[in-house]
Structure 1
């Protein structure tokens, strides 16, 4: 049975931090592939801040075009909005019955997993690969109530992965582009070229 890790995100835009995590999970764990699931609408984010869905999908395709272990998926484009992980997992399991799907998320998302729709079922049915994240002061404050959650700390379906830690966010890149800063080393060359040509995030 093929083992696939699902890495969800708006990827607005996809940057080297996303790619380092995705490649690390594909290369250093028992996963056979990592699929980048481009989210058309995250229930916790305002849609107005996003590039159009297919432009973000195109950016991800350009970013991973030469990586055989990392794929991109538009599966959530076909599902009801807003997108909920539990619905996407059910759809993928039916469409790919011979594939075992796992989740990939940062430790901040793990500690707020209780906010997700049907989170207990997700954790019961799927392995969750968790990578470390550098948190802001506010994020640390927001997550304080969940730091001693032993259910999450000791759950058999949670696997902590010692992946590289990068303090890099898509919002930082968007703000930097808008302010006229050089972000060429924060994006892959094809993504940087396309973002520049299309004048994305300058307004």
Structure 2
């Protein structure tokens, strides 16, 4: 895991990054700026239990691409999930918290993941343990109104103007961040290269 100091506010942005693209960088830029983060970890996953692994590039290749792509020095590209032996976000986040009890973490996700968040293992525990920032993505703006997560934790949503406070709030607490959106997606990029999946 990247080195952190007690009291830091660290964003956790997980995904397959298969491949990384401008949309990932845009989410990172928005999160760093709007959430007043000290660091943002790009957690490159070995695999996603909810997605096919057929078109998944080797982890080492995705890590190298992310390192080249992440320009801001506050971004730390990591694949420590591989050594934990789990691809389930809830288990990975529990390990992060256990090893860094005095760091303030925010789970960051694109709005396109919000609609299926309730399918993630222990999704309610994640929301009750970590503040969450949902960053707008094309075609997913209304997800924060209709998703099961948004309905379940409606009482815990804070206005995006208060987003810099999120890292200092106890969970459950979440916000939806509007901003510039990129139409790029890893799926589209793979299809353009003739890779199915």
Alignment of 1:35-54 (within 5 A): 35-54=41-60
* Residue 86 of structure 1 pairs with residue 90 of structure 2: yes
Instruction: Pick one of 142, 158, 174 that aligns with 2:190.
Output: 174
Provide the secondary structure at the position in 2 that maps to 1:41.
Answer: coil
Match of 1:154 in 2: 155
Corresponding pairs, count = 174
- Conserved in 2, the CA contact under 8 Å of 1:108 and 1:143? no
Provide the secondary structure at the position in 1 that maps to 2:156.
Answer: coil
Instruction: Pick one of 62, 66, 71 that aligns with 1:60.
Output: 66
Separation (CA, whole Å) in 2 of partners of 1:124 and 1:148: 11
Distance 1:6 1:75, change over 3 A: same
Match of 1:118 in 2: 122
Separation (CA, whole Å) in 1 of partners of 2:147 and 2:74: 33
Provide the secondary structure at the position in 2 that maps to 1:51.
Answer: coil
- Conserved in 2, the CA contact under 8 Å of 1:7 and 1:35? yes
Separation (CA, whole Å) in 2 of partners of 1:18 and 1:149: 22
Instruction: Pick one of 71, 78, 102 that aligns with 1:73.
Output: 78
Return the TM-score normalized by structure 2.
0.79
Instruction: Pick one of 112, 132, 146 that aligns with 1:108.
Output: 112
* Residue 165 of structure 1 pairs with residue 166 of structure 2: no
Distance 1:119 1:155, change over 3 A: same
Runs (5+) with no aligned partner, structure 1: 179-200
* Residue 95 of structure 1 pairs with residue 99 of structure 2: yes
Shift of 1:97: 2.5
Provide the secondary structure at the position in 1 that maps to 2:67.
Answer: helix
Structure exhibiting the larger radius of gyration computed from Cα positions: 1
- Conserved in 2, the CA contact under 8 Å of 1:5 and 1:31? yes
Provide the secondary structure at the position in 2 that maps to 1:173.
Answer: helix
Separation (CA, whole Å) in 2 of partners of 1:166 and 1:150: 26
Separation (CA, whole Å) in 2 of partners of 1:73 and 1:33: 12
Distance 1:117 1:164, change over 3 A: same
Report the more deviating stretch, 34-43 or 94-103. 94-103
- Conserved in 1, the CA contact under 8 Å of 2:114 and 2:144? no
Separation (CA, whole Å) in 2 of partners of 1:176 and 1:46: 18
Match of 1:188 in 2: none
Provide the secondary structure at the position in 2 that maps to 1:54.
Answer: helix
Runs (5+) with no aligned partner, structure 2: 1-6, 158-172
- Conserved in 1, the CA contact under 8 Å of 2:118 and 2:148? no
